[in-house]
């Protein structure tokens, strides 16, 4: 079976997607509440005081994706300036929630809301259990999608998983924790994903992250499909200009990747310590991206301690999921079609979702 990025003229035509511009309807709900289908509007931010926020709105509980009805939910995770974590989940009935289906992000899940249009977003999570936020996002870059934003799986594109992002935003507002509303200012990221099945069944692994330098915003979602899809390499990559907010470079799919691996003792697997990408396009433009992680921020074994019944479900699809999140240093060099080159450096937080079993053919 094949896996491919839907980026051909026939794909845009069939899906009704404008190849030249991201349009507001693309930010509305894209999936029906059918079994296996779900989506997420994701927002994160890092603030000047050292605090961090992650918020996700989903019309279906990931644990209930096999059902044919909505089970709306909101998750929030805050990290305080001293590194402590505060988190909460809010669950609502379908009758308590509205997920807009026409234009823009228009979510009303009980007490919580997310509304936006690629230019601004306003996020409210009520501090029902003492953890909440009121945040305003102001886009500093244009929205980015690779091709149609859709990765299709199967010989007839039977399944899909997607990403549509606003990679860089100015974020202001308040985080509520420990009984106090804290004023914050910082930078953040937003994306919208929709899918027809659990991504764990589709991918062997991915590296996802973004980097802000003084000149550029780097977006990368380097997917490698599961074994039954031939470990197909499906990179999404964009380089945006901080001054104009416009896209400078979007990969055409031609790239090389050199890595050095490091053993993670808790997970007993090799993960890239250094990742060196070189993306080249037909017009001669290229981007050289070198990433070296400095610190492990999160180590998560999603398989070993599961009950036998859950392990059997993963075993049936060849999955043995684990997750890493890193703080890294990065260097990006951009060469435009005329040969002019500029180089910039920055800090990066990225995740490495290692979902399949170790395999020498999986491009780890």
> Which tens digit of pLDDT belongs to each residue from 158-170?
999 999 999 999 9
The average pLDDT across 44-66 equals: 94
Q: Domain 1-197, what fold? A: AttH-like fold (2.40.370)
In sequence order, which residues have a C-beta less than 8 Å from that of residue 128 and are 6 or more positions away?
88, 90, 111
SS3 category, 180: strand
Same fold, 1-197 and 202-364: yes
Question: What is residue 206's predicted lDDT score, i.e. its pLDDT?
Answer: 98
Residue 19 sits at the vertex; the CA angle it makes with 15 and 25, to the nearest 5 degrees, is 60
User: Model confidence over 180-223: pLDDT tens digits?
Assistant: 999 999 999 999 999 999 999 999 999 999 999 999 999 999 99
Fold assignment, 202-364: AttH-like fold (2.40.370)
How is the chain split into domains, by residue range?
1-197, 202-364
Nearest Cα to 292, choosing from 275, 279, 269?
275
Q: What is the pLDDT of residues 79-102, one digit of tens each?
A: 999 999 999 999 999 999 999 999
Question: Which runs of consecutive H residues, i.e. helices, occur in the chain?
Answer: 9-15, 308-316
Q: Kindly state the tokens that stand for 54.
A: 């992650």
Closest CA to 215 of 242, 188, 239, 249: 242
pLDDT at 63 over 90: no
């Amino acid at each position: 079976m094949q896996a491919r990025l839907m980026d051909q003229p026939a794909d845009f035509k069939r899906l009704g997607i404008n190849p030249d511009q991201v349009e507001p309807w693309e930010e509305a709900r894209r999936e029906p509440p059918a079994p296996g289908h779900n989506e997420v509007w994701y927002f994160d931010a890092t603030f000047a005081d050292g605090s961090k926020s992650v918020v996700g709105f989903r019309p279906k509980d990931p644990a209930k994706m096999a059902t044919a009805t909505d089970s709306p939910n909101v998750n929030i995770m805050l990290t305080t300036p001293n590194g402590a974590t505060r988190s909460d989940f809010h669950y609502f009935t379908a009758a308590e929630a509205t997920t807009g289906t026409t234009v823009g992000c228009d979510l009303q899940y009980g007490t919580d809301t997310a509304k936006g249009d690629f230019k601004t977003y306003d996020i409210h999570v009520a501090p029902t259990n003492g953890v909440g936020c009121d945040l305003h996002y102001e886009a500093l870059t244009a929205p980015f999608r690779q091709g149609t934003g859709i990765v299709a799986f199967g010989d007839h594109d039977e399944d899909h998983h997607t990403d549509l992002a606003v990679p860089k935003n100015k974020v202001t507002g308040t985080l509520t924790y420990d009984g106090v509303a804290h004023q914050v200012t910082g930078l953040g990221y937003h994306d919208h994903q929709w899918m027809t099945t659990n991504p764990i069944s589709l991918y062997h692994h991915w590296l996802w992250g973004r980097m802000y330098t003084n000149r550029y915003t780097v977006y990368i979602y380097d997917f490698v499909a599961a074994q039954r899809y031939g470990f197909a390499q499906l990179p999404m990559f964009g380089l945006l200009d901080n001054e104009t907010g416009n896209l400078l470079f979007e990969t055409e799919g031609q790239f090389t990747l050199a890595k050095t691996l490091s053993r993670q003792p808790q997970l007993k697997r090799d993960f890239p310590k250094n990742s060196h990408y070189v993306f080249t396009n037909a017009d001669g433009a290229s981007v050289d991206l070198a990433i070296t992680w400095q610190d492990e921020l999160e180590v998560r074994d999603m398989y070993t301690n599961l009950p036998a019944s859950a392990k059997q479900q993963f075993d049936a699809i060849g999955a043995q999921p684990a997750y890493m999140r890193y703080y890294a240093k990065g260097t990006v060099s951009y060469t435009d079609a005329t040969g002019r080159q500029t180089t910039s450096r920055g800090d990066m937080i990225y995740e490495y979702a290692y979902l399949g079993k170790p395999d020498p053919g999986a491009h780890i």
